[in-house]
Amino acid sequence: MRSVHPGQPSADPMLLARRSPLRTFEESRFFSFTLLLPILIFFVALNVIPTLWMIGMSFYNYSLMSPAPPTFLGVDNFVKIYNDSDLWSAFGRTFVFVVLAVGLETTLGVLLGFLFWGSSNMPGRRLALTLLFVPMVVTPVASGLFWRLIYEPTFGVANYLLQQLSGQKIDFLTNIDWAFGAVLFVDIWMWTPFMILMTLAALGSVPKAELEAAEVDRLTAWQRLWHVIWPHGKFILMLGILLRTIDAYKTTDLVFLMTNGGPGNITELIALKLYRYAFASLNIGFSSALAVILLLIAIAFTSIYLWVLHLRRYREGV
Amino acid sequence: MQPSRTRTTVYYSLLWLVALLFFLPVFWILMASFKTPDDILAVPPRFLFQPTVDNIVSMLTRPNTIPYFINSLFLSILSVTLALAVSFLAAYTLSRYKFRATNFLMFLILSTRMVPAAALVVPIFQMYNAFQWRNQFGVLMLYTMFSIPFSLWILKGFIDGVSQRYDETGFVNGASRLHVMFRVVLPQVRPGLIAAFIFNLIFVWNEFLLNFILGGPGTQMIPYALAVGLTDSGGNVDWAFVASLSTGYVLLPTLMIFFFQKYLLVGMTFGTVRGEV
């Protein structure tokens, strides 16, 4: 039906039909913007506007507790945060939490990752890896509750084992000396598998040929690690550490469910603190100022993340 | 030199042991969901017991359980699907039309996921109250928004990996831009779509804080039910309920990582690291 002879002008009805308004629009320069429109709408409506509103609020004295209209304060909220020793200690706790959690998860994850390297012929590998990776896909609310049951002082299994070993019981989550460690332990349980995953990925990125060459050249294990594995694997490992850092810094649900910041404020991490200011004391101005600071810290992390990523692309010439 | 059979067996047993150790806490809860409340509270803890399905039956017959499960499924599947559609259009555009602001835009969108949810929840709470958006529509839009950054990153990475030659061949043969997008490029980025789908699904499925604050009837999900419904009328934690509900809830993510294990790495790193483990 639609045989088009070379000499025939484009009066062919099929060709005319092809140049529909849609086709013309698709080729116009506005088309690309149209494709971006949905994402921009989402981004502006649910992110840019709330963020700007939040930045605006951070300069006001605005509390939902008082009927008084918001009054402009300038940078007073930020000055108040700067002078708030309670917040400084929450930042300090968060810093300690992030450093310990990420440090221990990385150490353990790298060691276990090396252990799992070379397990490709293991029987039931897929099931084993699924069991291994389950902790990181369980909702933090549920894992917080799991561990509350395990840590429970009267009938919890951890205390039962502890009693068998040492003859005493510890209420881990309300004990000042133990609560922080108990929460940290759960975080390590949840996220060490992630570092194992990243280590396996890092090891997988080392070209087979180079490993074989290293074997032929009889490199020692240490030389192999330093000259062959590390140059290839370090970027993926760095990415893993950064992602974990960002995530650990956001920890809210876990402490909320396990200890609710207690005992005292031993486990009150900064994200939970922010939540408290906003929804317990309903102090919108002050909590917005704090949120702005957390946002800036997050942007700093993201920049480092992307910098590492670009470094990797650059090195690998991707 | 072949490693001996005994060595291999010991090695594999060791790996299994590590995997089982990590799974043990989850297994303990799984067991608790089959115990009678008396068995759960027994001192010393019972490792052997008469299994019962009473907890699971009573959990499922609570008036809110099934609706909460439906909310969880509905919100997570729909929001992630919507996010994938929006992200695919944007990822294709950012990959093929070279805008000068592309990197900056990608950065901005990713940075939204690096912020603690508690930071954004105040303005969104106020905004949602003002517009009366604290309904299914509002929460759905919010989760879509939260699923977009990872989807965009994963898909852009994959589309960048599809050679422009394919597009050009399509155009030369008279295909339209939309045809090229959906019939030529889309089928080639299927792994990216699956990875983005699975990981955002798990994220929305597990999300708690926003749901806790913004949720209402029709939008509350299981983590909310777990956090709120955990005490019984006497004020004690109802462990039988918590155990059976959370066991049911972690089933979906667990099945996901079993069946889609090869997408795990892509998903957990927003597509910046490819490959399998």
Residues pairing with B237 in the sheet: B231
Cα distances from B48 to residues A161, B28, B41, B120, in angstroms, run 16, 12, 14, 47
Q: CB distance A124–B16 less than 8 Å?
A: yes
Instruction: Write down the residue that tokens 């609710």 correspond to.
Output: A260
Decide if A109 contacts A192 (C-beta within 8 A): yes
Q: Is the pLDDT of residue B223 over 70?
A: yes
Find, in chain B, the residue whose alpha carbon is nearest to that of A301. Answer: B114
Q: What CA–CA distance (Å, rounded) separates A5 from A214? A: 64
Please name the member of A53, A140, A189 whose beta carbon is closest to the beta carbon of B123. A53
Please name the member of B14, B29, B109 whose beta carbon is closest to the beta carbon of A149. B29
Do residues A210 and A285 share a domain? yes
Position B2 scores a pLDDT of 61
Q: What CA–CA distance (Å, rounded) separates A61 from A82? A: 16
Domains: count for chain A: 2
Do residues A45 and A190 share a domain? no
Q: Which domain holds residue A213?
A: 76-138+186-316
Decide if B130 contacts A65 (C-beta within 8 A): no
Question: pLDDT of B9-31, one tens digit each?
Answer: 999 999 999 999 999 999 998 88
Which of B236-251 are b and which e, b meaning 16 or more Cβ less than 10 Å from the residue's Cβ? eebbbbbbbbbbbbbe
Q: What CA–CA distance (Å, rounded) separates B163 from B173? A: 17
Is A157 inside any structural domain? no
Q: What CA–CA distance (Å, rounded) separates B33 from A115? A: 33
Do residues A28 and A97 share a domain? no
Instruction: Write down the residue that tokens 């419904």 correspond to.
Output: B229
Do residues A45 and A84 share a domain? no
Cα distances from A42 to residues A48, A302, B87, B143, in angstroms, run 9, 21, 11, 11
Closest approach of A177 to chain B, Cα-based (Å): 23
Question: pLDDT of A68-86, one tens digit each?
Answer: 788 888 888 999 999 999 8
pLDDT category of residue A9 using cuts at 50, 70 and 90: very low
The secondary structure of A134-163 as a DSSP string is HHHHS-HHHHHHHHHHHH-TTT-HHHHHHH
Do residues A36 and A110 share a domain? no
Q: CB of B112 within 8 Å of any CB in chain A?
A: yes
- Which span out of A7-21, A133-147, B106-120 was modeled with the highest average pLDDT? A133-147
Closest approach of A240 to chain B, Cα-based (Å): 8
Do residues A283 and A199 share a domain? yes
pLDDT category of residue A316 using cuts at 50, 70 and 90: low
- CATH classification of the domain holding A206: 1.10.3720.10
ipTM of the complex: 0.88
Q: CB distance A138–B45 less than 8 Å?
A: no
Cβ burial of A76 (10 Å; 0-12, 13-18, 19+) is: middle
Do residues A192 and A297 share a domain? yes
Please name the member of B40, B145, B208 whose beta carbon is closest to the beta carbon of A42. B145
Is A312 inside any structural domain? yes
Is A119 inside any structural domain? yes
Q: What CA–CA distance (Å, rounded) separates A221 from A214? A: 9
Q: CB distance B249–A142 less than 8 Å?
A: yes
Identity at A294, one-letter amino acid code: L
List chain A residues with CB under 8 Å of B195.
Answer: none
Do residues A119 and A264 share a domain? yes
Q: Is the pLDDT of residue A8 over 80?
A: no
Is A192 inside any structural domain? yes
In a mutational test of the B interface, the residue from A15, A24, A39 whose CB has the highest number of chain B CBs within 10 Å is A39
CB atoms within 10 A of CB A235: 20
Q: CB distance A137–B206 less than 8 Å?
A: yes
Query: In this structure, what DSSP letter does residue B207 have?
Result: -
Q: What CA–CA distance (Å, rounded) separates A208 from A117? A: 13
Is A104 inside any structural domain? yes
Do residues A303 and A191 share a domain? yes
For residues A295-318, average pLDDT? 76
pTM of the model: 0.87
Q: Is the pLDDT of residue B58 over 60?
A: yes
Closest approach of B260 to chain A, Cα-based (Å): 10
* Residue B271: both structure tokens together: 């597509």
Do residues A193 and A299 share a domain? yes
Taking each helix axis from N to C terminus, what angle separates A284-316 and B102-111, rounded to the nearest 10 degrees? 130
Decide if B214 contacts A106 (C-beta within 8 A): no
Q: Is the pLDDT of residue B77 over 90?
A: yes
Identity at A188, one-letter amino acid code: I
Q: Is the pLDDT of residue A302 over 60?
A: yes
Do residues A219 and A280 share a domain? yes
Question: pLDDT of A152-200, one tens digit each?
Answer: 888 888 988 888 888 888 888 888 889 999 999 999 999 999 999 999 9
Closest approach of B273 to chain A, Cα-based (Å): 7
Question: pLDDT of A231-282, one tens digit each?
Answer: 888 888 988 898 899 889 988 889 988 998 888 888 999 999 998 888 888 8
Question: pLDDT of B201-220, one tens digit each?
Answer: 999 999 998 888 888 778 88
Is A3 inside any structural domain? no
Q: CB distance B277–A204 less than 8 Å?
A: yes
Cα distances from B252 to residues A139, B63, B67, B102, B260, in angstroms, run 11, 22, 17, 35, 12
Decide if A143 contacts A190 (C-beta within 8 A): yes
Report the run of H or E that residue B14 belongs to, with start and end. Answer: helix B5-32
Do residues A215 and A292 share a domain? yes
pLDDT category of residue B258 using cuts at 50, 70 and 90: very high
